[in-house]
């Protein structure tokens, strides 16, 4: 069975084609600048890359180009779309409607449309990708895999906020959490590395990139996570403020005479390590500035980020009553040995001990803890596309 995985953004589309017999990636690629000048598709088969420049006014044309690329006689991998068994779509927000991946029906699409107000930037392009695939490949099953679904297992006391309950019922204001597909994948991989059943483990997963979230996973399910009603809550990120006293928002709006749009942009695009360091939203740039230029603000941003992650790990250790493993994933988590060391320093009470030599790893699965560590520390590259392919396969096989 071959599964096509689609991840649509507002002006981009990522895809991977899997052969599920051995979970091999047959081809993958990226369509950029959809609806803009200079649109391009970068298609990769093995080590070979092919650049296809064309006018791509919408997602339907983007999907058509993807199909053309994977069935091309010269650089394609299929003779026709008849070889594709199903299409799996990443969908950011399923609200409270979905606790797992589902076959997309008209009723499911109606739910996705209702949830646009919860994810106005992400759900519309996700829906456009689904509708484009349905139009071009009408006979193929389409499956929705939700970023929020993994966290639907949280108990009510973990997801409600300290506001009148009527507003939760009326507007669905609650913690939803994100990066669920990533947290689920690395938790499953951690169980394999521990050689123990997932349903018998307590794992703290740290998805650390430009967007960052921490999740407490007990017996294979999410019981708490750092992102909330939106991806703005939680640890400070590349450009997002993370946890903040709400009164600061009102104070700044009054002082700076900002309207809602300006305030929203400020909190999501001008804060985080970018705002604190004044250097960049890219942690690599900030680390270079701190080390090479002795930039105090860059160092402060790194220290503040590590401190925030450590606090969440500590609080989730309390939620879980201990932890069998801490997992680092995503760009920063997989590649920054110094950040992993900084975060884990002082977690001796949990039995966390990092081996400095083992910790010098980048982008590969590794146990970076010492042999006698009570709580293991793993580096596990995330693979959300494979997780989407697996869920799609399970639903359609």
CA 269 – CA 104 distance, rounded (Å): 33
Written as tens digits, the pLDDT of the chain (397 aa) is 999 999 988 788 899 999 999 999 999 999 988 888 888 999 999 889 999 898 999 898 999 999 999 999 988 999 998 999 999 999 988 888 888 899 999 999 999 898 888 877 778 888 989 999 999 999 999 999 999 999 999 999 999 999 999 999 999 999 999 999 999 999 999 999 999 999 999 999 999 998 999 999 999 999 999 999 988 999 999 999 999 999 999 999 999 999 999 999 999 999 999 999 999 998 999 999 999 999 999 999 999 999 999 999 999 999 999 999 999 999 999 999 999 999 999 999 999 999 999 999 888 999 999 999 999 999 999 999 999 999 999 999 8
Measured over the CA atoms of residue 133, residue 139, residue 140 and residue 146, the dihedral's sign is positive
CB neighbour list of residue 126: distance below 8 Å, 6 or more residues apart? 8, 89, 90, 91, 92, 112
Angular region, 7: left φ>0, alpha ψ -120 to 50, beta rest: beta
| Count of positions (residues) in the chain | 397
Domain with CATH 3.30.420.40 in the chain: 2-146, 196-379
List, in sequence order, every beta strand (DSSP E) within 148-252. 202-208, 212-218, 221-225
Separation of alpha carbons 264 and 379, rounded Å: 34
* CATH number among 3.90.1300.10, 3.30.420.40, 3.90.1720.10, 3.90.480.20, domain 196-379: 3.30.420.40
Q: Is 147 one of the catalytic residues?
A: yes
Query: Of 247, 297, 240, 248, nearest to 266 (Cα)?
Result: 240
135 vs 59, 77, 116, 132, 268, CA distance in Å? 11, 22, 21, 5, 35
> CATH number of the domain at 2-146, out of 3.30.420.40, 3.40.140.10, 3.50.50.60, 3.40.50.1820?
3.30.420.40
Pairing between β-strand 84-91 and β-strand 142-146 as defined by DSSP bridges: parallel
Of the residues 58, 72, 106, 147, only one is catalytic, namely 147
Residue in 99, 247, 289 with CA at minimum distance from that of residue 180: 99
- Residue 6: phi and psi, rounded to 5, are -120, 135
Provide the β-strand partners of residue 206. Answer: 214, 328
């Amino acid at each position: 069975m071959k599964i096509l995985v689609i991840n649509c953004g507002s002006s981009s589309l990522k895809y991977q084609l899997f052969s599920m017999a051995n979970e091999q990636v047959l081809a993958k690629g990226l369509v950029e600048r959809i609806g803009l000048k200079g649109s391009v598709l970068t298609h990769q088969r093995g080590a070979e890359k092919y650049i296809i420049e064309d006018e791509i006014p919408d997602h339907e044309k983007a999907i058509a180009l993807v199909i053309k690329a994977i069935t091309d006689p010269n650089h394609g991998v299929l003779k026709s779309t008849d070889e594709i068994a199903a299409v799996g779509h990443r969908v950011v927000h399923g609200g409270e409607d979905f606790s797992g991946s589902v076959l997309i029906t008209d009723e499911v699409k109606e739910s996705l449309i209702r949830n646009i107000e919860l994810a106005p930037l992400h759900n519309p392009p996700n829906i456009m990708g689904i509708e484009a695939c349905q139009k071009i490949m009408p006979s193929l099953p389409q499956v929705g895999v939700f970023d929020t679904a993994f966290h639907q297992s949280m108990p009510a006391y973990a997801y409600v906020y300290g506001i009148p309950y009527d507003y939760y019922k009326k507007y669905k204001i609650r913690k939803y959490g994100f990066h669920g597909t990533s947290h689920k994948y690395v938790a499953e991989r951690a169980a394999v590395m521990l050689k123990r059943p997932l349903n018998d483990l307590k794992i703290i997963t740290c998805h650390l990139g430009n967007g960052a979230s921490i999740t407490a996973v007990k017996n294979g399910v999410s019981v708490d996570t750092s992102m909330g009603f939106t991806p703005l809550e939680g640890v400070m990120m590349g450009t997002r403020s993370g946890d903040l006293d709400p009164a600061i928002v009102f104070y700044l709006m009054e002082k700076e005479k900002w309207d809602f749009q300006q305030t929203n942009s400020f909190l999501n695009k001008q804060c985080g390590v970018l705002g604190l360091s004044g250097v960049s939203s890219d942690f690599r740039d900030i680390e270079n500035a701190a080390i090479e230029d002795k930039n105090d603000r860059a160092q402060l941003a790194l220290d503040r980020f590590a401190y925030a992650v450590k606090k969440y790990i500590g609080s989730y250790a309390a939620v879980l009553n201990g932890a069998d493993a801490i997992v680092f994933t995503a760009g920063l988590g997989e590649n920054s040995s110094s950040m992993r060391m900084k975060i884990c320093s002082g977690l001796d009470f949990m039995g966390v001990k990092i081996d400095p030599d083992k910790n010098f790893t980048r982008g590969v699965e590794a146990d970076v803890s010492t042999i006698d560590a009570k709580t293991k520390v793993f580096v596990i590259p995330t693979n959300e596309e494979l997780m989407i392919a697996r869920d799609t396969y399970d639903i359609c096989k």
